[in-house]
Structures are given as C-alpha cells and as structure tokens.
Amino acid sequence: MTPCGPLREVTQTILYDPDLNARGVYGNCVQAAMASALGLDLDAVPHFGAFAWWDAAIRLWLRGRCLDWCWVPIGRGLPDGRCVIIGASPRRATERHAVVGDGGRIAWDPHPSRDGLAEIQGAYVFRSWPDDSDSGGRCICCGDQLARLEEIAAREKAG
C-alpha cells in the first residue's frame, strides 16, 4: 500500500476558462486532486499545469516525497488504492478533468460543482519509490539511461 495521508477535501481555486487557457493559465484540478489524495494543503502542491512537461514535473516532485505514480487505463478497471482519476469534464466534454479515486470509485471531485466526470479515461496510481518496478534506470524526463550518462561522465573525468 502507498503511504498517503487521510483524504483531504481540497477545492480547486482556478477553474477552466477558454480565455485564460489561450493565455496559458490552466485550471488547477490536478493540483487540488493531488493535494486531496495525499492529504495536503493546496499550497503544498505545485500547480503542475504551469509546466510544459507536467508529467515529468509531477514525478520529480513525487519522488522528493518517496512516491511515484503510473498510468492505468480504464480498460484495467479503477484501482482500489488512492489515485487521481482523469476523464472528460461534465462541463465541457473536450476538456479533461481530475478527481480523486479511492476504493475503486470517485471519492472526491475538487471542482466546486462536485459533478465528477462524464467519462473516465484512466487513473494515475500512487506507489512508493524507489521500488522494484522502477524504470530500469531511465531518466523520467528524457528516457536516457542514467548508467550510460554516469559512464560518460566518469570517462570524461578520467581524461
């Protein structure tokens, strides 16, 4: 089981707005869902929507907390453990929304409407890190083999 604090019902503070989206200001449902899932205050979790490589930024942040997450498509069913479920927003089907899952169901929707999802696409499941299912020594940002990079650095240092 992954170490998550008690579920905390955190509400997102930035809602989807097409005009803001066009200027690069995105809703913070992922931030609020992660804070809720991990039992944290909203301000303790970065607004990852501001990052171009948001998935890598999230994984780096999670690894600083000895956690990681992995994608599970809905075809495998909803996970039993704490997770962030992603799917179509009931307010705008072309936009994705994030909610908290626990016990194989939606446990909290951070949007003030609490409408959940129109359709579930999958879930990001939290897990302890490091563990045996790690990425084989690959950098989570670029996929390069870390051992290979260390080898090159050692060679350069040796001269």
Is 155 in the same domain as 106? Answer: no
Q: Is residue 9 included in any domain, yes or no?
A: no
Distance (Å, whole) CA 94 – CA 117: 12
Q: Is residue 6 included in any domain, yes or no?
A: no
- Tell me if residue 110 falls in helix, strand or coil: coil
Give the per-residue pLDDT at 2.
Answer: 52
Residues of the domain holding 109: 18-128
Q: Is residue 2 included in any domain, yes or no?
A: no
Is 37 in the same domain as 87? Answer: yes
Is 68 in the same domain as 115? Answer: yes
Q: Is residue 95 included in any domain, yes or no?
A: yes
Q: Is residue 33 included in any domain, yes or no?
A: yes
Is 27 in the same domain as 78? Answer: yes
Count of domains in the chain? 2
User: What number of H helices and E strands is found in the chain?
Assistant: 4, 5
Is 88 in the same domain as 141? Answer: no
| Mean pLDDT split into 10-residue runs, the chain, 159 residues | 78 94 92 97 94 90 92 94 96 92 96 97 92 56 57 75
Q: Is residue 48 included in any domain, yes or no?
A: yes
Is 60 in the same domain as 115? Answer: yes
On whether the pTM is more than 0.85, the answer is no
Q: What is the residue whose two structure tokens read 């626990």?
A: 102
Max CA pair span of the chain? 62
CA 75 → CA 45, 84, 97, 122, 138, distances in Å?
29, 16, 18, 8, 27
Q: Is residue 12 included in any domain, yes or no?
A: no
Strand partners, 71: 124
Is 101 in the same domain as 140? Answer: no
Is 146 in the same domain as 69? Answer: no
- Residue 85 CB burial class (10 angstroms; 0-12, 13-18, ≥19): buried
Rounded to 10 degrees, what is the CA torsion of 89, 90, 92, 96?
Answer: 10
Give the per-residue pLDDT at 142.
Answer: 54
CA-wise closest residue to 38 among 58, 57, 53? 58
